[in-house]
Amino acid sequence: MTDDLELYGITLASRLMLGTAQYPSPAILADAVRAAEAGIVTVSLRRENAAARTGQDFWGLVRGLGARILPNTAGCHSVKEAVTTAHMAREVFGTPWIKLEVIGEADTLQPDVFGLVEAAGILAADGFEVFPYTTEDLVVAERLMEAGCRVLMPWGAPIGSGRGLNNLYGLRSLRAHFPDVPLVIDAGIGLPSHAAAAMELGYDAVLLNTAVAKAGDPAAMARAFARAIEAGRAAFLAGPMPQRDMAAPSTPVIGKALLG
């Protein structure tokens, strides 16, 4: 039986999605994507433009990596900016997919969930397939679904913080409320164990960038993440035991030993 992930009708063998920013060099980025066997790479139109990093060359490199491209609106702080960037991305990459970020707060890069819902509605009505970077808030999640999103991407922790899953309870509730919606943890993952924990909770995939790009050996770290995500998924499918507050002897004793 296959355990492929389906997002907007596209089937993916890998549950690891990798960001393409902050790598020491394009060659190291390419090595990391290959080592991760990432099914999706996300790329920021604005960042590449701003860095004037020979944009076309960089996008050409990303296109050649063999992963599906998910353009993002990273760095957008308003609905207008995000919608305009999404349109540019659709033209450049020829895909209706857009990872929608509308940032609301400078210190935490927390999503502006009001702007996010508004922008998601505009883009979905215009034929985009929206991957919204959101919080674990259930009401916002409902609104995003009503706006036309078919995938949700709640944060684990603030972007680039490496803190892991900050609100385990909230993320567990979100999973329970939307059992049939693909849920992808996006941002804040620092260690493979964080990614494994997300998968053990029943999340469908993990998107990360900084933890690999800033590792001492990005390709080795990408491989470690790929294995952790596979292990977490396998554990979820295997049905983890329920947690208990009290001890339960793992070797039950029947009767008493007869001591001579």
Ligand X SMILES: CC(=O)[C@@H](O)[C@H](O)COP(=O)(O)O
List contacts with ligand X (CB under 6 A). 19, 21, 42, 72, 74, 159-160, 186-189, 207-211
Residues 11 and 3: their CA atoms lie apart, in Å, by 10
Q: Which is nearer to ligand X, 201 or 213 (CB)?
A: 213
Q: Which is nearer to ligand X, 48 or 118 (CB)?
A: 48
In DSSP terms, which residues pair with 130 in a beta bridge? 98
Residue 14 near residue 39 (C-beta atoms within 8 A): yes
- Residue 135 CB-density burial (10 A; 0-12 exposed, 13-18 middle, 19+ buried): middle
Residue with tokens 């090595």: 31
Residue 70 near residue 260 (C-beta atoms within 8 A): no
Residue 239 marked as a ligand binder: no
Q: Which is nearer to ligand X, 3 or 105 (CB)?
A: 105
Q: Which is nearer to ligand X, 42 or 85 (CB)?
A: 42
Please list the active-site residues. 99
- Residue 39 CB-density burial (10 A; 0-12 exposed, 13-18 middle, 19+ buried): buried
Shortest distance, CB of residue 215 to ligand X, whole angstroms?
12
Residues 6-33, buried b or exposed e (16+ Cβ, 10 A)? ebeeeebebbbbbbbbebeeeebbbbbb
Residues near 189 by Cβ (< 8 Å), separated by ≥ 6?
Answer: 156, 157, 162, 164, 195, 198, 206, 208, 211
CA atoms within 13 A on the CB side of 85: 28
Residue 69 near residue 59 (C-beta atoms within 8 A): no
Helix 113-125 and helix 138-146: axis angle, to 10°? 20
Residues 44 and 130: their CA atoms lie apart, in Å, by 15
Name the amino acid, one letter, at 69. Answer: I
Shortest distance, CB of residue 207 to ligand X, whole angstroms?
6
Shortest distance, CB of residue 257 to ligand X, whole angstroms?
55
Residue 134 marked as a ligand binder: no
Q: Which is nearer to ligand X, 2 or 216 (CB)?
A: 216
Residue 187 marked as a ligand binder: yes
Residue 209 marked as a ligand binder: yes
**What residues form the annotated binding site?**
160, 187-188, 209-210
Q: Which residues are annotated as a binding site for 1-deoxy-D-xylulose 5-phosphate?
A: 160, 187-188, 209-210
